[in-house]
Amino acid sequence: MPLTVCAISGSLRRASFNTALLRAAVELAPADVEIRIFDGLRDLPHYDADLDGPNPPAPVVALKDAITSADALLIATPEYNYSIPGALKNAIDWASRPAGKSPLNRKPAAILGASTGLMGTVRAQLALRQSLLFTETYVLMKPEIMVTRAADKFDADGRLIDETTRGLVRQLLEALSTWTARMRT
C-alpha cells in the first residue's frame, strides 16, 4: 500500500537548501512513497488564540488537512538562533490545536536539516523534537540527517549532488516507511 508523506520546509526563501532537500526526497523516494510538499507556511497568520476555534483561518485549515490526509510527516528545518524558525514553530503551534485532538498526535514523522555551516541544524532538530513531544508525534530517531556545508552539496539549480547525503535521504525514507507501518498499527 502506498505511503503518502506531507513534507514541510522551515525556510521560506526561494533558494532554500532545506526546501531543496525536500525536492531531493521527492526524487529519491521509494516507489511506494509519495511525498507532497506543503507550501503554505507563509500564508499562516501568527498564532493567536482569539483566532483559534472551530472555524480557523483558511491557511490553517489547509495546513491541518495536509497533515491529516498524509500517513506521515517529513520536516526539513534550518537553524535560526539555535532553534527552528519562527515560521515553522508557528505552523506547529496551529497544527497542535486543539490539544489532544491535533493532526500531529501520533502521526509518524521524520526530520532533517541543512545549514551552510558546520553544525547542520543539530540544535534546531533537538528543539523540534522537544515540541513534537508535547504533541505526541512519533518522530523517527535514526538516522539523524544534518547536512553541513550545504553550499557544497547542492548544484546551482538546487539539486542535491552529494552522493553520501543522497544515500542518507534514501535511508531516512526507508526507515520512515517501516516506522510508519509500525506506528500506525
The reply on whether position 56 binds a copy of itself by CB under 8 A is no
Residue 91 in the binding site for a copy of itself (CB under 8 A): yes
Give the residue, chosen from 86, 152, 155, 159, that forms a contact with a copy of itself under the rule CB under 8 A. Answer: 86
d(CA 8, CA 70): 12
- Cβ proximity to a copy of itself: between 142 and 159 the closer is 142
Contacts of a copy of itself in 131-150 (CB under 8 A): 131-136, 138, 141-142, 148
Q: Does 77 bind a copy of itself (CB under 8 A)?
A: no
Burial 115-139 (b: 16+ CB within 10 A, else e): beeeebbbebbebbeebbeebebbb
Question: Is there binding between residue 123 and a copy of itself (CB under 8 A)?
Answer: yes
Nearest approach in angstroms of CB 4 to a copy of itself is: 22
Q: Kindly tell me the sign of the dihedral angle through the C-alpha atoms of 33, 79, 96, 133.
A: positive
CA distance 80 to 167: 26
41, 63, 76, 110: which one contacts a copy of itself (CB under 8 A)?
41
Q: Which of residues 96-115 bind a copy of itself (CB under 8 A)?
A: 96
Round to whole Å and give the CA distance between 21 and 19.
5
- The set of cell numbers assigned to 85 is 524558525
Rounded Cα distance between 19 and 88, Å, is 13
All three cell numbers of 45:
497568520
Contacting residue, 118, 156, 157, 163, with a copy of itself by CB under 8 A? 118
Residues that bind a copy of itself (CB under 8 A): 11-14, 41-42, 44, 46-50, 80-93, 96, 118-120, 122-123, 126-127, 129-136, 138, 141-142, 148, 182-183, 185
